[in-house]
Chains A and B, each alone.
Chain A
Amino acid sequence: MSAISASEKVDGFTRKSMRKAQKQRKSQGSSQYRTQSAPVELSPLPQLKDAPSTEQQELFTKKLQQCCMLFDFLDSVMDLKSKEIKRATLNELVDYVSTNRGVLVESTYPEITNMICTNIFRTLPPSDNPDFDPEEDEPTLEASWPHVQLVYEFLLRFLENPDFQPSIAKRHIDQKFVLQLLELFDSEDPRERDFLKTILHRIYGKFLGLRAFIRKQINNIFLRFIYETEHFNGVAELLEILGSIINGFALPLKAEHKQFLMKVLIPLHTAKGLALFHAQAYCVVQFLEKDPTLTEPVIRGLLKFWPKTCSQKEVMFLGEIEEILDVIEPTQFKKIQEPLFKQISKCVANPHFQVAERALYFWNNEYILSLIEENIDKVLPIMFGSLYRISKEHWNPTIVALVYNVLKTLMEMNCTLFDELTSSYKADRQQEKKKEQERDELWKKLDELRLSNTNLFQNNSRGLPCVQNNNNNNNNNSNNDNQDKSAEAAAVATDNKGPEVKDPDVSVAASESTPCAK
């Protein structure tokens, strides 16, 4: 037992940093598919630039074929010579397609795409760390990167080559190709995702026929991410691509695009990864700049998904709201000011000072200030209660100081309203309390009603229908109107063997009878 220090024993949980340090050593994942038989040793081919031009094409094809050989990179000493040959060949190929004109003849397209597919399309390996957190953890890097990187580079040069012809390439770079490419966005390796981002963007630009398909598949990935797995490493990259795609949408916006905004982009805000939010806000603002009438549904959507427990996310939401307010039209502002400021007023009163602070910073924004001033008679009554209370109660002095400034600004905007609200503050609070009591009363009465009905039901099932009459009589005594309706509720509840299967009351009474019987 002495071998282990006491402190280590007490603290059963190793620190995250320690675990990380241990992991660093093996942060490489395998990815290449298994059943390929042991690689044949490669022998170097002559350089392309040394070959006579008549033989270049054939040599190019041969080299492409040579590069289809895959190697195991988890074993770092295996096939060193062949790996080096492939690396040099890939480098040469990259160079060849980026500097030479006229090398992309039609017959090479299948060979080129075949080489690319063989190398990059693979099922991503299971993550070393099932709870991988992109913000905290070191990503597992792709072990075969020395080769894969060059293949990506080659694909990019191929797409960017001035001789590249989408009309020929579309036979190979088709929907299936795109689908496999999109799956790779889940890679944990940020270097890979970065390449994929550029490549997909190029494909989107060059293949008009694939555009709708690409958008739809990205939708599917997002929907799966939001509602099924909550895990996909490439969401931020895909959003970046979408940002520039949205930028190019023609007006008026198609229904498909609006649907994407409301059904995908807004729900995406429920995701936990904060890194996503920057790209999201950008996309949302892009949409609103295109079509301001979308402001209301967007803001209502954000309010629906407003974070309840995660303060950090709340700060991000407030940031996004400010970005939206920066571009909002005054007419749109009028439509959402009420629900929006109710939320802002809650944020201002948030005990977490960063949330309160971020919300109060809205009052430093000239444009927002002008919007508030224009609608001060609506905004002030909503904000006043929280601000007034916080100015007396918040624990953080910075917040209190900020609140005083805000109150002062608001007072200057409409002094009379401000005074009215100050003087009615107490009465309003009491009104609220009274309402609260009324609610409790109401529920108490409803519960009693339920109890008595349950009793009725039980009594009745024991064959004592007279209780029901008593109850009805009582009801009638103190009843002013709608007698029949009140009686009906009780009557139905007792009619437990009635033919009406659809009576909710019957099933209610039946289902309630057990918990209420004491």
Chain B
Amino acid sequence: MAGADGDDSLYPIAVLIDELRNEDVQLRLNSIKKLSTIALALGVERTRTELLPFLTDTIYDEDEVLLALAEQLGNFTMLPPLESLATVEETVVRDKAVESLRKISQEHSPVDLEVHFEPLVKRLASGDWFTSRTSACGLFSVCYPRVSSTVKAEIRQHFRTLCSDDTPMVRRAAASKLGEFAKVLELDYVKSDIISLFTALASDEQDSVRLLAVEACVSIATLLPQEDLETLVMPTLRQAAEDKSWRVRYMVADKFSEKAVGPEITKNDLVPAFQNLLKDCEAEVRAAAANKVKEFCENLPEDNREQIIMTHILPCVKELVSDTNQHVKSALASVIMGLSTILGKDNTIEHLLPLFLAQLKDECPEVRLNIISNLDCVNEVIGIRQLSQSLLPAIVELAEDAKWRVRLAIIEYMPLLAGQLGVEFFDEKLNTLCMAWLIDHVYAIREAATCNLMKLVEKFGAEWAQNTIVPKVLGMANDPNYLHRMTTLFCINALSEACGQDITTKQMLPVVLKMSNDQVANVRFNVAKSLQKIGPVLDSNALQTEVKPVLEKLATDTDMDVKYFAQEAISDVKLRSTNQSSAQDRPPLAALQNKVF
């Protein structure tokens, strides 16, 4: 290969560096992405002595190039260029450089870490411009566990300094790494250092810093023994839950998790705090809290869980059902069904069912959808029958919603609903809907409807398909609208396998073959594609005597797309008849079909 005429020395560093310096950004970017190849051509020594200084010096480039460089350097062990990149302004570049540095740090021995890596972190931590200090925040935790205790003390000191940096950018970076850093610290230092930093950051003058401190709270709480939580963490958390900035309260609601604290604290502190968040004046906060209702209730101490939910949480939940903001309602709707398993059958029927029913009638389709998509939780507790009378109008309304995305969403729940409601209910009430979707104005709906039929057949069996679906589908083959005729073909593609050889050969194939005379070319080439698709299901006799002649005729069609797909199908069918086993392995032509159609 390379030996024949390859000659590494033909690529002097100048040429390679020229490439890295090309005027065209795209070419520069390409070269950087192949940095490993360049390094290979240069050899170790010259990479270190010539390429490395070049990379360290020329970091004044487009951020996109720098990003690629930062990523590439993660594969080398070259610290100096990464150090420069870690001081760049553009956040993505810097983050990538830090990521690469973190990766490289794992390859350092403890000695190397102290000799090479830790001084780099220190330099970054005491840099003039905020960017290097922000980068340093992400590097402390990777070197801390593996260095000597004196160095450890220095690292802690640096982190402390950065937590009270005078630029909010650095404080934000420190706050966002607080949890991670706490995890690698010895417990005593968590108590002595981290807690005071946490308290300070959580009462920072800028809400953007405070909310990051709240995020760290969860990981800090898991590190501390139960008895210390009350004194060390809770005061700060209490204060954050009542912060004047909705962003901080939102973060509290979003990260709300009582797993970390004990049952006592939960009862005395978290329940009231959670109630307040559910009643917050900002919809964002209420929505975040509503999302947590199920998780919160699940983790309440079991001995008086039911009582807490009934007296404290449920009243708030009832109010949220008629909230003015639809995001709040839909957040609640996505979890509320989960409460039924916690509260049991009687409470569900008495207290939750009215709420479910109210939400099923909500004006916002998303709320109704969220309820319907979680029906399985209720099904386990009280059975879906309790709901079915209210369910039906809700489903019908969603099925006919003006927004196609809503229609699409409800179609996706059909197989689930069908399974829970049973075949009779389905035939009686929902079958018409499923067939109506096949002639929807939006292709995505027709496509989803086809897929839905397939899943239904998988659930209810081929016999059911033969009696209820197949006649209707085949009937559409004579529709005056060519789009509907094509839908027949798409349905056949989807159903043939689930229906089996008998139905496919006897009922579907004749229709497909008849459609090969359609006047619309799109229908004809879809016939070719369908024949190719259902080929494996058919017996070889039908293939040879019926399918092949039709395909051969289509292969001489006047339309070039029809010809193309007919030929594709012929070669596929041929392959199949000669070599059955390898034909099975052929990948589906889905990608190709997407491209052409």
Contact B282 A125 (CB under 8 A): yes
**Residue B45 lies at the interface, judged by CB distance under 8 Å to chain A:** yes
Whose C-beta in chain A lies nearest to the C-beta of B79? A502
Given A489-B41, A501-B77, A504-B47, are A475 and B244 also a contact pair (CB < 8 Å)?
no
Does B75 sit at the interface, judged by CB under 8 A? yes
Cβ of B169 and Cβ of A449 under 8 Å apart?
no
Q: Complex formed: what's the CA distance from A182 to B438 in Å?
A: 57
A507, B60: Cα distance in complex, Å: 27
Alpha-carbon distance between A475 and B282 when the two chains are bound, in angstroms: 73
Task: Name B77's contact: one of A3, A342, A502 (CB within 8 Å).
Answer: A502
Bound: A421/B505 CA distance, A: 74
Q: A9-B441, A123-B246 are in contact. Are A486 and B9 (CB under 8 A)?
A: yes
| Interface: B284 (CB within 8 A) | yes
B-chain residues with CB within 8 Å of residue A126 when the two chains form the complex? 246, 282-284
Chain B nearest Cβ from A444, distance in angstroms? 10
Task: Tell me, yes or no, whether A416 is within 8 Å of chain B by CB.
Answer: no
CA of A126 to CA of B288, assembled, Å: 13
A453 to B205, CA, bound (A): 57
Q: How large is the interface on A (under 10, 10 to 19, 20 to 34, 35 or more residues)?
A: 35 or more
Give chain B nearest CB distance to A238 CB in angstroms.
Answer: 16
Which of these binds chain A: B192-200, B265-273, B399-407, B524-532? B399-407
Mark contacts of B260-290 with chain A using CB atoms, 8 A cut-off: 1 yes-contact digit, 0 otherwise. 0000000000000000000011111000000
Tell me the nearest residue of chain A to B400, going by C-beta: A1
Complex contacts, B45 vs chain A, CB 8 Å: 485, 488
Contact present for A452 and B89 (CB under 8 Å): no
**Chain A residues positioned under 8 Å from B23 (CB to CB):** 342
In angstroms, Cα B44 to Cα A503, docked, is: 6
CA distance A503 to B43 in the complex (A): 9
Interchain CB contact (< 8 A) of A223 among B130, B205, B244: B130
Report, as a range, how many residues of chain B touch the other chain: 35 or more
A443 to B403, CA, bound (A): 52
**Contact: A12 with B404, CB < 8 Å?**
yes
Contact A263 B3 (CB under 8 A): no
Choose among B62, B76, B208, B245 the residue that contacts A304 (Cβ–Cβ < 8 A): B62
Chain A: minimal CB distance from B125 (Å): 19
Judge if A8 is at the interface, Cβ distance under 8 Å.
yes
Instruction: Given A6-B441, A504-B78, A507-B76, verify A489-B2 contact (CB < 8 Å).
Output: no
Residue contact B36 to A4, C-beta cutoff 8 Å: no
CB distance from A36 to the nearest CB of B (A): 10
Interface string of A480-513 (1 = CB under 8 A from B): 1111011011001100000011111101110110
Q: How far is the CB of A6 from chain B (nearest CB, A)?
A: 6
User: Which single member of B3, B37, B90 contacts A450 (CB below 8 Å)?
Assistant: B37
In contact, A451 and B7 (Cβ under 8 angstroms): no
From A263, A446, A451, A504, give the contact of B129 (CB < 8 A).
A263
A479 at the interface (CB under 8 A from B): yes
Q: Is the CB of B40 within 8 A of A505?
A: yes
Cβ-based interface call for B168 (8 A): yes
- The tally of CB-CB contacts under 8 A between chains A and B is 173
A445–B77 CB distance below 8 A:
no
> In the complex the two chains form, what is the Cα distance from A449 to B403 in whole Å?
57
Q: Which of B1, B34, B405, B436 has the most CB of A within 10 A?
A: B1
Kindly list chain A residues whose C-beta atoms are within 8 Å of the C-beta of B172. Answer: 228
Q: Quick one: which of A4, A33, A446 has the most chain B CB within 10 A?
A: A446
Whole-angstrom distance between the alpha carbons of A6 and B442 in the complex? 10
Q: Does B4 contact A (CB under 8 A)?
A: yes
Does A220 touch B at the CB level, under 8 Å?
yes
What 1/0 mask marks residues of chain A from 434 to 471 whose CB sits below 8 Å from any chain B CB? 00000100110111111111010000000000000011
Please give, as numbers and ranges, the residues of chain A lying within 8 Å of B34 by CB-CB distance: 443, 446
CA distance A144 to B124 in the complex (A): 47
Contact A452 B3 (CB under 8 A): yes
A475 touches B8 (CB 8 A): yes
**Do A485 and B441 touch (CB < 8 A)?**
no
Q: Is A227 an interface residue (CB 8 A)?
A: yes
Shortest CB–CB separation between residue B323 and chain A, in angstroms?
A: 15
Known contacts: A445-B2, A507-B77. The answer to whether A123 contacts B40 by CB under 8 A is no
A254 CA to B281 CA in the complex, in Å?
Answer: 47
Docked Cα-Cα span, A450 to B172, in Å, equals 43
Please report the C-alpha to C-alpha distance between residue A455 and residue B46 in the assembled complex, in whole angstroms. Answer: 23
Closest chain B CB from A349 CB (angstroms): 14
A99 to B516, CA, bound (A): 92
Residues of B with C-beta under 8 A to A263? 89, 129
The answer to whether A471 touches B130 (Cβ under 8 A) is no
Q: Which residue of A lies closest to B77 (CB)?
A: A502
- Flag whether A433 is at the interface (Cβ < 8 A): no
In the complex, chain A residues whose CB is within 8 Å of the CB of B405: 12
A479-B9, A485-B9 known, 6 other contacts, Cβ within 8 Å: A123-B207, A126-B282, A452-B1, A483-B9, A504-B47, A509-B40
**29 A-B residue contacts at CB 8 Å?**
A1-B400, A1-B436, A9-B404, A10-B441, A30-B281, A33-B244, A123-B207, A123-B247, A126-B283, A227-B169, A228-B172, A304-B62, A442-B11, A445-B2, A445-B11, A449-B37, A450-B37, A452-B3, A482-B9, A485-B43, A485-B46, A486-B9, A502-B77, A504-B47, A504-B76, A505-B43, A505-B47, A507-B77, A508-B39
